[in-house]
Amino acid sequence: MTSETSGTGRAFGRVGIWSGALHPSRVDDAGRGAITEALAELEGLGYGTVWIGGSPTPGDAAAVVAATRTLTVATGILSIWNHTAEEVAAGVAAIDPEARRRFVLGLGVSHGPMVPQYAKPYSAMVAYLDALDAAEPSVGSGHRVLAALGPKMLKLAAGRSLGAHPYLVTTEHTAEAREALGPDALLAPELTVVLDTDLDRARTTARTMLGMYLQLPNYTDNLLRLGFTESDFDGGGSVRLLDALFALGDAEQVKRRTQEYLDAGADHVALQVLTAEEGGAGLPRAAWRELAEAFGDEL
């Protein structure tokens, strides 16, 4: 089904950029300058939203908001185990009030193998949202999204936030998530892109990233629910799995794949560009330009 873009969805735009390299706190002055230049270019290219991937800090979020003028800025995602709700609320409160309107706090429970204190993730998220609501000033439901995959977290996302930002999902999951969220909540899945028309080489690049995620039960459990099998996880991912999770090929193919997610019920798709040359890191500005040209005024 095709989702009618809500007012919330329109604030995000149809297509955004997800990047794990937008962390001013992790680089030197030259690196911060490169991030500022990249953000200015993304804004000029017409993308609706920039997602700060890779567990950003509240300070990272504030710096990216300050470096932009019109982009919606979202964390994709901030781990609830890394920062207390009170710390996050204080960080959000420190953002200029006018600019704060463009900021959305994306929250997630991360993964057991990565978090020593990981326990009862659903209950922990509920308690975290309660604390954000109680903070002064509060970071209420209209200013946050959840990294939801399973039915319980999707329901919580619909009831306690703008909606869901699922990571590493298929179009089938997007359709199921839309059904679970209802028609009004935001659904903004991430989609990883490899701009390479040599599909064997593109799949090799994709496997360099996917192999890590296939060690995390939250993702593998979700993929098993979607009908994949343990054999699909061997060797960094089967062709069937790779082709379902990634957009591989030229910019026009990425555009077609993005439309499949929109047709399945997404309001917005966050594109993460993965490059072999940079090992998946860095600021792939040439690729961002190529994609913007392909999408044109459909961004």
Rounded mean pLDDT of the chain? Answer: 93
DSSP state of 4: P
Question: Is 7 exposed, middle or buried, given 0-12, 13-18 or 19+ CB atoms closer than 10 A?
Answer: exposed
Residue type, 75: T
Among candidates 84, 83, 23, 26, which has minimal Cα distance to 50?
23
* Proportion of the chain in helix, strand, coil states, percent, rounded to 5: 50, 15, 35
Instruction: Look at residue 277 in the predicted model and tell me its pLDDT.
Output: 72
CA 217/CA 239 separation, integer angstroms: 20
pLDDT tens digit sequence for 28-79 = 999 999 999 999 999 999 999 999 998 999 999 999 999 999 999 999 999 9
Q: What percent of the chain has pLDDT over 70?
A: 93
Backbone phi, psi, residue 236, to 5°: 85, 5
Q: Is the peptide bond before 77 cis (omega within 30 degrees of 0)?
A: yes
Q: What is the pLDDT of residue 217?
A: 94
Partners of 187 in the beta sheet?
164
Q: Which residue has the tokens 């500022």?
A: 36
134 φψ region: left (φ > 0), alpha (ψ -120 to 50), beta (else): alpha
Report the pLDDT averaged over residues 260-287. 89
Question: What confidence tens digit (pLDDT) does each residue in 168-208 have?
Answer: 999 999 999 999 999 999 999 999 999 999 999 999 999 99
What amino acid is encoded at 3 in this protein?
S
Environment class of 233 (CB within 10 Å of its CB; exposed 0-12, middle 13-18, buried 19+): buried
Taking the model in full, what pTM does it have? Answer: 0.94
pLDDT at 10: 67
Residue 4 has pLDDT above 90, yes or no: no
- Distances in Å between the Cα of 43 and the Cα atoms of 14, 47, 211, 241 are 14, 6, 32, 33
Please choose, from the candidates 184, 192, 180, the residue with its C-alpha nearest in 3D space to the C-alpha of residue 271.
192
